[in-house]
Structure 1
């Protein structure tokens, strides 16, 4: 780096964006050039890829000229920041990398970076039992602010950063005021708090501190009035009651037991600088450690090959090594165990992601899937962003979400995804790891992001039997195991069906594998029994219906016809015979059925109908397959024309 340029430059982001060299202010240029500098300064010392710059400056729908615009703005920044070297290559203040650009300046030269460092230092001081030093360091950090962060800087990235930095600022304000009160400065704290509450009226921690400071000043009546005003405001604005910490403080003020009390505890990291054990109650993006994964299955059997593959992927493409976010896409038929595998993988990998774990059900298996806009609201709330601070547009939420995850070793599980349009805004960048489950293969993730795809198949008979035995604790004697094995087979190897069956065996003291297997032999009875009353997610018929509803009219017609034949195995020319369509149209229909989990591809030109799926489809066709025992293997004997193409077959 040019010693002269790097040691004299300073960048102000915590207010109107301004840059100085020595004591002389530098003109940065047009608005998008200023937005580029803001992006590079926020990502100080990190290579920002060109596609990230385009997203940050223009959002998800950039103009065709965006790439050229990036080059123009980079060149303009070089002329402004390092005019001596501007004509001789990339320079050493703004460095060109193979896939992007990096701003190289000391942390002290960028006020936002210095603010973050000083706040972290204050936390460490507080944790070490040095509250006075922590209080002073927080005061120095807050003194770096000169107004709204990135004021006047355009673009979705700047809008998102303003929200993030504002959250960090007010979290630091709360910590600093907590230290002031603990040091005996309650009267001064009241003045500061009244001003802060005007700016952030929904932050309950500020109102808690105001009540505490008033009480410690001997102004109990004013403290109670502050609570009443808070309660009225929250009810009018949000329709909610004050949180438990505010209510508890109110009760202590009424009881006269406030003296010596401390600000409320929360499960987040220690933040208040006044005392090491004091914590912040207002979760913020900077301090909040999210962990929102549902529990894993109580019994998990099989999938050893898939688990091994993912472990190898995480080792090989750890966030520290990889340039892109590692993505695992799990797809498969309804009830095949996609979510169970995803959560099993997530829980066993928790230690790899110390910065937190996010989960969202995208509702792709329901009639009302969530939009990316709504999912982002859920994820941002889980990251500690207050509802009132959520961006009101999709671009703003995307940029805030990606910024909060940038540089963080976090795990994100997106369950029951529908398609690319829903997923694309939810893909983080950098060190996070993403696990996606979907009934449909997410080929776009594979092509565009290099995702690793796992296509789940039904369990083989031995593994399915082991799962049912493990779930029921059934005896493993020869006779009993034979009946359990038959039950597992009648469940089509689908873990959902096996779990429902286990629930029936455990919930009925008179049930036995032999008796239930006899009932399952009737296909329609079996489909009716494979359900949990009142829970559509635990019904084989319901989960298959969701996939069926997504089929086109012609593909649905073919599906019913295939199920009516009673076949298990189907060749690619069977639709030609059944419907009189072209081979190309047949291939398209078969691919659609496979993508929706209603056909299983077993070879280059071979497909299989799962027993339960076939029973469902036959019921739609109003044909009951009674004549053929479903446990008897049934295949389509394929015949060929002189050119070797499959043209049909017969039942054997």
Structure 2
């Protein structure tokens, strides 16, 4: 079948690597053109797809919907049985052969090896341009050589050495620096009674390695050479010094093996409580993941405020779902809200992921498209769980989403609307713990005996911590470190808002500080949203509305509504109802601190506008320091006096 010009073949190659999945036009462009993308690339993709449809479905009318090559959701999908794609079928037979070999069933393994290697009709992706084709060409060529070496090992095990010589000789000519092929060729020649030829292969190998690399052959080749020179009797049937049961393992030692099953989930804090609804939802969302290789990955974003327990939930859920993803778990901290690191780029994140999949640093592609293509290829058809912790935005995450039956859990302090809209992500918005759950966590951390007779104090402390797991853990650490301190004592220490954030921090550990966590979220805001956050620190009311925000900023209502949405998307405000918002208590204290960053004149003017708009006078109590910071109260009083004097 003639599939048209080179780039048209490159397009079908990308689609064939992900059969029954929608591949976005942008992904196809990256895979076919790489970094040298012309302005006409997108139109080129549509043209090539039209050409492929004429080839694949010649009887289809121009306006008829395609059954093989379909378009949907801004991309295209090649709808086929995966067994109709030679590369996928080769990998399946290869995996079966390895399994049978591991079960000491070499004759059955050889049938699978023959089926796998019989699918090759030249080089993969021959004369196909683009970074994706280049990476697949390299990957499949390496996999083919590995399969040949493993086939040769089983052929030697069953005594069919004479049939191996021609294949190995041809491959050694094509891959002269691959030592393992030469090792098998030398042993095979020796077993065929061609001792002189086996020694000649070694002499040629030594000369080539010295001339090309300035190196001697490896220890395995040197050892085999010495055994052949000595006419070691074990070489005829097995490797000297090894029992028969270990012979099979020895024959394939040194050949590239499947990478170890990744198990990268980090340690998570003890004392997980609550979240039953969220765990049940994750269970439901992943119930279909891994059933069929052609399925799209399950993508779930866990969002919430600083300290609410997003990472803890993701890791706890990942461990509960362990058996559902037998091909491993990958983990990357993307540092989206870290005060100690810059956010991790997608390029560097892929380097970590590929390393976990056994790819050596020297084999990493230099560009994002190349790394992403290799990553997806290695995980094709694999049931893996990927945890992407602390993400910044969709652009950082998208290259890290594999295809097939994988599950990806993303945590973020920001609402990831783009992943929901474009990538079909499910979203779980995490709220603070319920009061009872907060007290249960405290009891677990400090011991239930210390809660006896102090339940009311425990509930008050939980409320002062805004029911945030991080704040509760910091407070519990204060109790654990002072056995004589009671819950009532700790409540008294936290009663005053002034200094509460100072106490909810662990010295010399910025990751265990509420103030530091809030600061990172605020620093990531656009300038106008950050200013609104600071000005809201002057406001003493419980409910925040667009008129309040507009008055504080001196702006129109539409702009205020937009900026309130930005703050809510960053989980610096909670939605209290339709078009209304509120702070939780700790963020309200932090906002009041941030208000001091505004100049005195700006604070006075903001409060004057608020009073003039009628948003400050109702319920305003200038004496109540627990509801409004002292500086804010002073400015409010002065603003009120100045406004009254004008009338």
Note the residue ranges of structure 1 that are not aligned, 5 or more in a row.
1-18, 20-26, 236-241, 266-271, 624-637
Give the aligned partner of residue 303 of structure 1.
275
Give the aligned partner of residue 559 of structure 2.
585
Q: Distance in 1 between matches of 2:328 and 2:45?
A: 34
Cα deviation, 1:63-99, whole Å, max 9, x if unaligned, reads 776676456545645666787x58899999x834575
SS in 2 for 1:330: strand
The structure-2 alpha-carbon separation of the partners of 1:139 and 1:327, relative to structure 1 and needing over 3 Å to count, comes to: closer
Q: Distance in 2 between matches of 1:512 and 1:163?
A: 65
CA contact (8 A) 2:290 2:383 kept: no
Give the alignment partner of residue 112 of structure 1, picking from 81, 84, 87.
Answer: 87
Cα shift at 1:28? 3.8
Cα deviation, 1:148-183, whole Å, max 9, x if unaligned, reads 531320134313322331342243245345547767
The structure-2 alpha-carbon separation of the partners of 1:321 and 1:388, relative to structure 1 and needing over 3 Å to count, comes to: closer
Q: Distance in 1 between matches of 2:65 and 2:243?
A: 53
Q: Distance in 1 between matches of 2:138 and 2:101?
A: 26
Give the aligned partner of residue 388 of structure 2.
414
Give the aligned partner of residue 68 of structure 2.
95
Give the aligned partner of residue 153 of structure 1.
128
Cα shift at 1:530? 1.9
CA contact (8 A) 1:58 1:155 kept: yes
Cα shift at 1:434? 1.9
RMSD of aligned Cα (Å): 4.9
TM-score (norm 1): 0.72
* Residue 457 (str. 1) matches residue 431 (str. 2): yes
Matches within 5 A, 1:51-200: 51=25, 56-58=31-33, 69-70=44-45, 72-74=47-49, 76-77=51-52, 95-97=68-70, 99=72, 100=76, 102=78, 112-113=87-88, 115-131=90-106, 134=109, 138=113, 141-142=116-117, 148-176=123-151, 178-179=153-154, 199=177
Give the alignment partner of residue 547 of structure 2, picking from 573, 591, 609.
Answer: 573
Give the aligned partner of residue 645 of structure 2.
none
Q: Distance in 1 between matches of 2:293 and 2:145?
A: 34
Q: Distance in 2 between matches of 1:346 and 1:105?
A: 31
Q: Distance in 2 between matches of 1:529 and 1:648?
A: 33
SS in 1 for 2:383: coil
Cα shift at 1:327? 1.9
Q: Distance in 2 between matches of 1:124 and 1:489?
A: 56
Q: Distance in 2 between matches of 1:281 and 1:615?
A: 61
Give the aligned partner of residue 231 of structure 2.
none
Structure with the higher helix share, 1 or 2 = 2
CA contact (8 A) 1:334 1:439 kept: yes
Q: Distance in 2 between matches of 1:88 and 1:557?
A: 56
Give the alignment partner of residue 536 of structure 1, picking from 502, 510, 513.
Answer: 510
Give the alignment partner of residue 336 of structure 1, picking from 308, 312, 315.
Answer: 308
CA contact (8 A) 1:114 1:141 kept: yes
Give the aligned partner of residue 629 of structure 1.
none
* Residue 404 (str. 1) matches residue 404 (str. 2): no
SS in 2 for 1:417: coil
Give the aligned partner of residue 482 of structure 1.
456
Cα shift at 1:558? 2.8
Q: Distance in 1 between matches of 2:183 and 2:540?
A: 69
The structure-2 alpha-carbon separation of the partners of 1:140 and 1:316, relative to structure 1 and needing over 3 Å to count, comes to: closer
Cα shift at 1:437? 0.9
CA contact (8 A) 1:414 1:434 kept: yes
The structure-2 alpha-carbon separation of the partners of 1:311 and 1:81, relative to structure 1 and needing over 3 Å to count, comes to: closer
Cα shift at 1:106? 10
SS in 2 for 1:428: coil
SS in 2 for 1:309: helix
Q: Distance in 2 between matches of 1:577 and 1:87?
A: 61
Cα shift at 1:199? 5.0
* Residue 447 (str. 1) matches residue 416 (str. 2): no
Matches within 5 A, 1:312-331: 312-315=284-287, 320=292, 324-331=296-303
Q: Distance in 2 between matches of 1:301 and 1:105?
A: 44
Cα shift at 1:372? 0.9
Give the aligned partner of residue 38 of structure 1.
13
Q: Distance in 2 between matches of 1:550 and 1:86?
A: 52
Q: Distance in 1 between matches of 2:579 and 2:214?
A: 63
The structure-2 alpha-carbon separation of the partners of 1:527 and 1:101, relative to structure 1 and needing over 3 Å to count, comes to: closer
TM-score (norm 2): 0.73
Give the alignment partner of residue 530 of structure 2, picking from 539, 556, 563.
Answer: 556
Cα deviation, 1:260-306, whole Å, max 9, x if unaligned, reads 4599x9xxxxxx9x35997778554xx65333222444221112222
Cα shift at 1:316? 7.0
CA contact (8 A) 1:50 1:70 kept: no
Q: Distance in 2 between matches of 1:40 and 1:444?
A: 23
Cα shift at 1:59? 6.0
The structure-2 alpha-carbon separation of the partners of 1:475 and 1:158, relative to structure 1 and needing over 3 Å to count, comes to: same
Give the aligned partner of residue 9 of structure 1.
none
SS in 2 for 1:573: helix
Give the alignment partner of residue 343 of structure 2, picking from 360, 369, 378.
Answer: 369
Greater Rg, structure 1 or structure 2? 2
Cα deviation, 1:99-123, whole Å, max 9, x if unaligned, reads 556476995x865355334423422
CA contact (8 A) 1:357 1:412 kept: yes
Cα shift at 1:390? 1.7
The structure-2 alpha-carbon separation of the partners of 1:298 and 1:160, relative to structure 1 and needing over 3 Å to count, comes to: same
SS in 2 for 1:406: coil
Cα shift at 1:581? 1.9
Give the aligned partner of residue 516 of structure 1.
490
Q: Distance in 2 between matches of 1:87 and 1:569?
A: 60
Q: Distance in 1 between matches of 2:176 and 2:477?
A: 56
The structure-2 alpha-carbon separation of the partners of 1:208 and 1:546, relative to structure 1 and needing over 3 Å to count, comes to: farther
Cα shift at 1:307? 2.2
Cα deviation, 1:43-63, whole Å, max 9, x if unaligned, reads 57x466574756654569977
Cα shift at 1:410? 2.4
Give the aligned partner of residue 16 of structure 1.
none
Give the aligned partner of residue 495 of structure 1.
469
